Chain A
């Protein structure tokens, strides 16, 4: 291994990495054999990129880092079907942090519409400097032009970058993933020593959109830059950037004899990692909740596929984002004897990616942790030898291994929760079909199921109420799990769920509205839309709007009855001018949308039955509230 430290030759010797012990102990159980076979798979195979391309990307990324003013360099290697866009780096403090402590901002959802949670409706957080600089690159237009050309050539677009350039590569990849058409080969991204870019929701959104595999991050075991965003902006921060900055007077100068910078970054990393570990482990101590008011933690979290380089030629691949965070902290922990050396390595390892990868990719000594996170050996001498060797090489203590297991455990729990919900699908369908029957029966009565339910006269109405509550129980449980991130990230992107949620919402929400207005809750609580609408419908509506890329509020057809009820409750004929004007607008709007919805088939014809609240109310409307041609169309619907 070549160790390279700018301007500081005396520290180039390093005793830490162990020699390369290859351990092919055969194991008796077939499961382990299977795992060993998988372990033997080459990285290139696993991530569907050839080693040649990875190496090429690494050298381009390192080269681009000092490309002098150009935002990126484009490389179209002969014989390879890729075009590599490698982004330049920056060491200017302003390009890393706009404001203390963490320099974050809400994601610009007009440029990156997917980067938010759908049901919970929270926008992802991103480093403000990175976002600002990336938009500046976009504004120069050359990036988009070049990418279009490469796509026209049928080449795979590959964005790459080292250090700060990696952050640009990540945002570029996301930008083109968002823009990508259905038949377009989506871009890929390989980063080397990348700082963390976005928060938990950022990663969640990327996984939900199934883009996670497009991102490969190589991280050297001790490299400080991938951890730097876990630490608030500080003097130490500046020192680290200056150390790397060729234009700084402190370039390559060993920063601090007392390792203050390393301790500072690691301490913050420890806070974040242990905080998340508490959640992974299901900590029930209520103090944890109160601490959120007092402890300001970095919002940034890893996402995508992480490949840790042990420093002695081995590679450890991990996709689980919680596990990746724990690895970022635990692999770089100090051992007291080697503290000074580790602090130095944390700097120079940031600069050796191309050489290290050439070696590691040649050896193909790879361990894929995700397959076995929950069964990781806790002691340093048990379990599959090949796994234990790399865990020992990475210096993972029993504590660290417990955290990794907890990360794996959480993901498995999420999958089990999803399976449990899938088991409920049949039950949901049964109840929905009962309610469908109820709806049809309502039509034959010329009343509509909304009004029938509101009056609660018959046994059928009561049965419908029980069905409504059974379904509410199932869906509320789903929503509660989503709120607590206890379902897989892809959950809200499953077509079947969106479809079922939409069916449910259109059929059952009118019953909730009927129940709300039957019990006159609007009188003391407020309107259904502002105070009464259950989350289960809000979530289901957002799922559909997101899937159809429609703006928020577009799919509110299931709230039709709530609007009717509210309009009914505004007395006509009073002299309040402005109120009448808004009412008039609202009524005309409602009539327009009603026609659209019925034509789309997303609103049942039962709303225009003779006996329904809507028709009765509509007939009393003075002519000035009606507008043509909607009015006669509605009249046709009622009689046709």
Chain B
């Protein structure tokens, strides 16, 4: 048995405790009670899926889905293959660019879509507890409906949903592991129930489903796995998949078997207050493995026989514990603020000697650039992680996750990216934007653009007042300047081909128009006009060349040349300018 290292906190597995808490509370019972009730009333009604909305208390709503036995059999016979379903593309993540749903579940869900849209809007307005439930394919509809509901819920919503399914098959190819939504799903699966394993490779899947598709299924939410002996909760998709695979090879009985989860719950409830086994043997010294081995045994898994790596489970659990440590999070956030203060300081230093920030860094004017770079690296690591985290979440949720920190991310981008550009061109790089720019900058910019609204005239006015303290908005501004310098060189170089000259000329015209646009929007900091800045150096070279522009030019370009030649830039950003 592994010895616990001194600096590590002891780890426990709470799979059994969470499961027992669930079965001893009345939550699952309350959900289950409605299902047989609805199923009984079914024969009288013609429609294939029954929906019931019930209010056991004013603060609680229960929504139950029950497909009729015929329509269940019908849908199941359609097969277990995955069908692309663009309506659920709000679940897309980086790892899952398009969402596919099990055909059987879709067969029942699609005809209900309009009806459920109405129900969704109605429930969205409610406050309090909302339990959404169903058995087998009824549970699949419940899950789909819950996802549908979550996609339209905003942060302020006072509705608290939980989806509880009983013996439902896997639904789709998307995961929710990195999503807050994962906490809204609880799936009960008995080791006696053939349905949940139906679409797995070893299960008795219908002939249309292929093996590769079957392995594309991803479990999400928490699974309450139960056997005669007891129960345990797991939310690791790989382990759940493993359990289902094991169960599918061992479960007996045909698809006609309808498992009575009511009976199973009664048994589990009683077991939860009965004395568990007292294990014998010296080997149980490590609490995590002692706990997990007992829990696995309870649900019929033998780690040795079924090839379960306890060490791996322990490591995953430890990583997760570490990741969810909020206190160290607070420390980290303050450390990033310190990094930013250093950069602000650098900017201030540049301002004090009447230089621009970009130029100072590119030419290493203060001999502290190495230290600054160290702070930049800290920041970049942090923001790359944040961006990656946002990308792992379903699109819709990722967007609301971002709003909290997008402002800080934008300040970071405007502060740090110019310095990255400086290093790049100093080392002789070319075409930063297309060849070098980091993905996280691109996403930060894209998200900012998506969230930004065009400024009102008042806002533009206040920007005008404050432009001297603002950062240049386009974090790639200096890359454009560097490219302009290179173009200018090609243009003046006697050895350049006519083609190169023409493209350089065009680039410079575009650049002039671009700068003018930035100036009009008060989007660049006045520091770019400081003497000796890269921009002014470029202008020095360029203005000689364009003494008499020969080609026809756009109005904006002419405005730009005029703005520069007349020296109006000298008063840009000063509040007294009309």
Genuine A/B complex:
yes
Chain A residues within CB distance 8 Å of chain B: 263, 266-271, 274-275, 277-278, 280-291, 293-295, 297, 333-336, 374, 378-382, 392, 395-400, 402-403, 405-406, 409, 413, 416, 456, 459, 462, 465-466, 469-470, 472-474, 476-477, 479-481, 484, 486
- What distance in Å separates the Cβ of A148 from its nearest Cβ neighbour in chain B? 47
- What distance in Å separates the Cβ of A568 from its nearest Cβ neighbour in chain B? 20
Contacts of A484 in B (CB 8 A): 326-327
Residue of B nearest to A403 (CB): B17
- What distance in Å separates the Cβ of A142 from its nearest Cβ neighbour in chain B? 44
22 contacts between A and B (CB under 8 A): A263-B270, A270-B21, A270-B272, A274-B21, A278-B17, A286-B180, A286-B182, A286-B183, A287-B182, A287-B235, A290-B162, A291-B27, A396-B278, A397-B278, A398-B277, A402-B12, A405-B10, A465-B341, A470-B338, A474-B331, A480-B329, A486-B327
Given A277-B17, A397-B275, A287 contacting B186 (CB threshold 8 A): yes
Given A287-B233, A290-B184, A473-B334, A397 contacting B341 (CB threshold 8 A): no
Contact: B334 with A469, CB < 8 Å? yes
Most chain-B CB neighbours within 10 Å: which of A275, A281, A480, A486? A281
In the complex, whether B285 has a CB less than 8 A from a CB of chain A is yes
Given A274-B24, A284-B321, A398 contacting B279 (CB threshold 8 A): yes
A456 contacts which of B27, B276, B348 (Cβ < 8 Å)?
B348
- What distance in Å separates the Cβ of A290 from its nearest Cβ neighbour in chain B? 4
In the complex, whether B471 has a CB less than 8 A from a CB of chain A is no
- With A and B bound together, what is the CA distance between A430 and B11 in angstroms? 36
Given A282-B11, A283-B14, A294-B27, A267 contacting B21 (CB threshold 8 A): no
A462 contacts which of B131, B294, B348 (Cβ < 8 Å)?
B348
Residue of A nearest to B10 (CB): A409
A466 contacts which of B26, B280, B330, B341 (Cβ < 8 Å)?
B341
Q: Which of B329-361 contact A (CB under 8 A)?
A: 329-331, 333-335, 337-338, 341-342, 344-345, 348
Given A288-B18, A402-B12, A294 contacting B162 (CB threshold 8 A): yes
- With A and B bound together, what is the CA distance between A481 and B330 in angstroms? 10
- With A and B bound together, what is the CA distance between A399 and B337 in angstroms? 45
- What distance in Å separates the Cβ of A384 from its nearest Cβ neighbour in chain B? 13
Residue of B nearest to A338 (CB): B275
Contact: A473 with B129, CB < 8 Å? no
Contacts of A268 in B (CB 8 A): 24
Contact: B12 with A263, CB < 8 Å? no
- With A and B bound together, what is the CA distance between A79 and B235 in angstroms? 64
Residue of B nearest to A377 (CB): B284
Most chain-A CB neighbours within 10 Å: which of B183, B233, B275? B275
Contacts of B284 in A (CB 8 A): 378-379, 382, 398
Contact: A287 with B330, CB < 8 Å? no
Contacts of B18 in A (CB 8 A): 274, 278, 283, 285, 287-288
In the complex, whether B33 has a CB less than 8 A from a CB of chain A is no
- What distance in Å separates the Cβ of B294 from its nearest Cβ neighbour in chain A? 6
Residue of B nearest to A274 (CB): B21
B327 contacts which of A269, A380, A465, A477 (Cβ < 8 Å)?
A477
Contact: A378 with B327, CB < 8 Å? no
Q: Which of B181-225 contact A (CB under 8 A)?
A: 182-186, 221-222
In the complex, whether B9 has a CB less than 8 A from a CB of chain A is yes
- What distance in Å separates the Cβ of A327 from its nearest Cβ neighbour in chain B? 14
Contact: B327 with A480, CB < 8 Å? yes
Contacts of A403 in B (CB 8 A): 17
Contact: A469 with B337, CB < 8 Å? yes
Contact: A406 with B348, CB < 8 Å? no
Given A469-B334, A473-B334, A293 contacting B129 (CB threshold 8 A): yes
Contacts of B280 in A (CB 8 A): 379-381
Contacts of A294 in B (CB 8 A): 25, 27, 129, 131, 160, 162
In the complex, whether B22 has a CB less than 8 A from a CB of chain A is yes
Contacts of A472 in B (CB 8 A): 334, 337
A285 contacts which of B222, B334, B344 (Cβ < 8 Å)?
B222
Contact: A270 with B24, CB < 8 Å? yes
A267-B24, A286-B180, A287-B183 given; name 16 further pairs at CB < 8 Å: A263-B270, A270-B272, A275-B21, A283-B17, A290-B160, A294-B162, A297-B25, A334-B275, A378-B290, A392-B278, A400-B276, A409-B10, A462-B341, A462-B348, A469-B341, A473-B331
Contact: A334 with B330, CB < 8 Å? no
- With A and B bound together, what is the CA distance between A381 and B281 in angstroms? 7
